[in-house]
């Protein structure tokens, strides 16, 4: 025989405000992680572009000399 859950009893024992604050905390953690990953990707991209720019300038300077 399957176990049934009394929804009203469950609602009575659950503190909705605590659950919502826990849910917000999780969402904020996910948002922070996504932001940090985007920031690191952007930094990596900028560093790569900077190295490429320096390499082009060096090649251009050597070609001019």
Quote the number of domains for the chain: 1
Q: What is the pLDDT of residue 10?
A: 78
Does residue 3 sit within a domain? no
Three-state DSSP class for 24?
helix
For the question of whether the overall pTM of this predicted structure is more than 0.85, the answer is no
Does residue 31 sit within a domain? yes
Does residue 8 sit within a domain? no
| Average pLDDT of adjacent 10-residue blocks, the chain of 65 residues | 79 84 95 98 98 94 84
Matching residue, tokens 């996504």 = 34
Q: What is the pLDDT of residue 3?
A: 78
Instruction: Extract the tokens encoding 34.
Output: 């996504």
Long-range contacts of 33-42 (CB under 8 A, 24+ apart): none
For residue 39, the enclosing domain spans 15-64
Does residue 1 sit within a domain? no
- Give the span between the Cα atoms of 23 and 14, in whole angstroms: 14
- Give the span between the Cα atoms of 22 and 24, in whole angstroms: 5
Q: What is the pLDDT of residue 58?
A: 93
Does residue 9 sit within a domain? no
Q: What is the pLDDT of residue 18?
A: 87
Q: What is the pLDDT of residue 34?
A: 98
């Amino acid at each position: 025989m399957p176990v049934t859950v009394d929804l009203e009893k469950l609602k009575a024992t659950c503190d909705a405000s605590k659950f919502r604050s826990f849910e917000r905390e999780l969402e904020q953690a996910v948002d922070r992680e996504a932001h940090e990953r985007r920031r690191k990707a952007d930094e990596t991209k900028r560093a790569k572009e900077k190295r490429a720019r320096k390499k082009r300038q060096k090649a251009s300077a050597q070609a001019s000399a």
